[in-house]
């Protein structure tokens, strides 16, 4: 809806036309365009799904330095 919202603000499109999901394009833009409703009522953040951390990733984590240093392998940690 971002581009359609911009075209509507510029007055370049007819928003009285019906859409598949709303009665009119104006209604759809009011509901779905983030510039008009920054926190719409329908928006719900997704919950993080449980993730399995592989043995390889755990082993890499033991050998890697911190992320702010580029997370390069530190062979000194092997000793």
Mean pLDDT of the chain: 80
The total domain count for the chain is 1
Distance CA 13, CA 16 (A): 9
Say if 17 falls within a structural domain.
yes
Helix (H, G, I), strand (E, B) or coil at 64: strand
Whether residue 23 is contained in a domain is answered as yes
Between these two residues, 75 and 29, which has the higher pLDDT value?
29
Compute the C-alpha angle 35/24/40, nearest 5°. 35
% of the chain surpassing 90 pLDDT? 28
In this prediction, residue 13 has a pLDDT band, given cuts at 50, 70 and 90, of very high
pTM higher than 0.75, yes or no?
A: no
In a domain, 39, yes or no: no
Confidence of residue 42 (pLDDT cuts 50, 70, 90): low
- Altogether, the residues listed in the chain come to a count of 79
Full residue range of the structural domain in which residue 25 is found: 2-32
pLDDT for the residue numbered 6: 92
| Sequence-separated (6 or more) residues with CB below 8 Å from residue 42 | 31
Q: What is the structure's pLDDT at 18?
A: 94
Flag whether pLDDT at 49 surpasses 80: yes
């Amino acid at each position: 809806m971002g581009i359609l919202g911009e075209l509507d603000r510029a007055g370049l499109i007819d928003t009285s036309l019906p859409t598949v999901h709303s009665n009119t394009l104006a209604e759809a833009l009011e509901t779905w365009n983030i510039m008009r409703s920054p926190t719409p009522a329908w928006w719900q953040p997704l919950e993080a799904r449980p993730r399995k951390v592989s043995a390889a990733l755990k082993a890499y984590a033991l050998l890697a330095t911190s992320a702010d240093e580029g997370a390069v392998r530190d062979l000194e940690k092997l000793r």
